Amino acid sequence: MLVLMQALAGCDRADSVATAKQPILVRVQTVQMVDRTISIVLTGDVQARTLAQLSFRVTGRVTERLVDVGAHVEAGDVLARLAPTEQQADLAAATAAVAAAESRLKVATANFERQKTLLAKGFTTRAAYDQAQEALGGAKSALEVAKAQLGTAKDALTYTELRASAAGVITVRNLEAGQVAQAALSVFTLAQDGDRDAVFDVHETFFREAESDRIALALVSDPAVTATGHVREISPTVDPKTGTVHVKVAIENPPAAMTLGSPVTGTATWKPEQRIVLPWSALAAVGATPAVWRLDRASKTVSLKTVTVDDYGTGTIVISHGLAPGDVVVVEGGKLLSPGQIVTYDAESRS
């Protein structure tokens, strides 16, 4: 009985070895270099080329706010007004100062002419004449100063009205009637009419290997509305929060539908490169390292070959190191394989 059981066990082991050595059907692919072109699409928005920060030149209480966000204004339009009480008082004082200076000039002129006549007749001294002449010069200078102060007061009165510096659209408002506006503090942002940019926040390597600086643009709401742009400005710093770079793309002849704030897509194309591209199903692993099953045509056995994956695409992987053109790799059936496994295949898969 013992001999019979040993014989049966020996048969089972023989059958297992025979089964393990049976070839496994797989699909393979010969590695070759192919041109790989990448197009990346990002979303941004349309912004004005020039943004003007508008502020009052004087401090005062706001009496009127005449525009709101989204309003289109023309150059010179009044946007807001301050209470002009202080500026009007300064203007009145400056006007009075000019009048007083003119009166003093008249007196100094008359005194100088009198001293000039008396000196010619010998009825006054040279010192009195010189003093009158000096007083006349001082009166003239005082009048010029008073006139300059009057001009400043007139300008200050006009500064109580905030006017648009150019035609455009109000995009930001930090002002309400009744509040005190501080001089030089921005209260409106004006997106000036004219050139437009499409602005994107992209990864810092996005444009490093782009085929050109030409970008294809399209409206998100209506992809039929398209335009062409070129990279105009790339921020020299990376946003520490998002890890992205601010990129401005100048829109060439922007369609009327590409209004301020419109979401747009931008498509950039990379230069074609010779790369090894395999189906994702070819990917295996040695521990935590990517690998593929490589076929030895002579023995029809497979072995794991570690590789470096440069990029993961939709259904594909891009290999940068580990394989060479002419290598044959398993692209289907790799999950059932073990090193040294004999395989069989009917035809090669095409990438």
Tens of pLDDT, residue by residue over 173-198, are 999 999 999 999 999 999 999 899 99
For the record, the structure tokens of 258 come out as 């590409």
**What is the pLDDT at residue 17?**
43
> What is the helix, strand, coil percentage profile of the chain, to 5?
25, 40, 35
For 86-100, what is each residue's pLDDT tens digit?
999 999 999 999 999
Greater model confidence, 20 or 258:
258
Give percent above pLDDT 70 in the chain.
90
Give percent above pLDDT 90 in the chain.
67
**What is the pLDDT at residue 7?**
44
Model confidence at 214, in pLDDT bands (50, 70, 90)? confident
Residue 245: how many CB atoms within 10 A of its CB?
19
CA separation (Å) from 185 to 57, 58, 59, 165, 248?
9, 10, 9, 16, 27
Q: How many CA atoms lie within 13 A of 177 on its CB side?
A: 9
**What is the pLDDT at residue 63?**
96
Cα–Cα distance between 247 and 279 in angstroms, integer?
34
**What is the pLDDT at residue 210?**
57
**What is the pLDDT at residue 349?**
52
**What is the pLDDT at residue 139?**
94
Q: What is the mean pLDDT of residues 280-307?
A: 92
Report the chain's terminal Cα–Cα distance, integer Å: 59
Q: What is the mean pLDDT of residues 241-268?
A: 91
**What is the pLDDT at residue 34?**
87
Work out whether strand 343-344 and strand 24-25 pair parallel, antiparallel, or are unpaired: parallel
Residue 3 predicted with pLDDT over 90: no
**What is the pLDDT at residue 334?**
86
Residue 351 predicted with pLDDT over 50: no
**What is the pLDDT at residue 137?**
94
> pTM, whole model, 2 decimals?
0.62
**What is the pLDDT at residue 56?**
95
**What is the pLDDT at residue 211?**
58
**What is the pLDDT at residue 14?**
41
Domain boundaries, the chain: 24-36+274-346, 40-49+192-272, 62-82+161-190, 84-159
Model confidence at 206, in pLDDT bands (50, 70, 90)? low
Residue 11 predicted with pLDDT over 50: no
Residue 5 predicted with pLDDT over 50: no
Which CATH architecture is the domain 24-36+274-346 placed in?
Beta Barrel (2.40)
CATH for 40-49+192-272 is 2.40.30.170
Residue 113 predicted with pLDDT over 90: yes
**What is the pLDDT at residue 21?**
60
Average pLDDT value for the chain: 88
Q: What is the mean pLDDT of residues 128-149?
A: 94
Please answer whether residues 51 and 191 qualify as being in contact, where contact means their C-beta atoms are separated by less than 8 angstroms: yes
Maximum mean pLDDT: which of 21-30, 34-43, 90-99, 206-215: 90-99
CATH topology of domain 84-159: Helix Hairpins (1.10.287)
Q: What is the mean pLDDT of residues 144-165?
A: 95
Comparing CA positions, the residue from 47, 63, 56, 58 lying closest to residue 187 is: 56
Maximum mean pLDDT: which of 151-155, 242-246, 297-301, 333-337: 151-155
Residue type, 217: L
For the record, the structure tokens of 46 come out as 């349309």
Model confidence at 270, in pLDDT bands (50, 70, 90)? confident
Whose tokens are 């790339």? That residue is 234
Greater model confidence, 241 or 144:
144
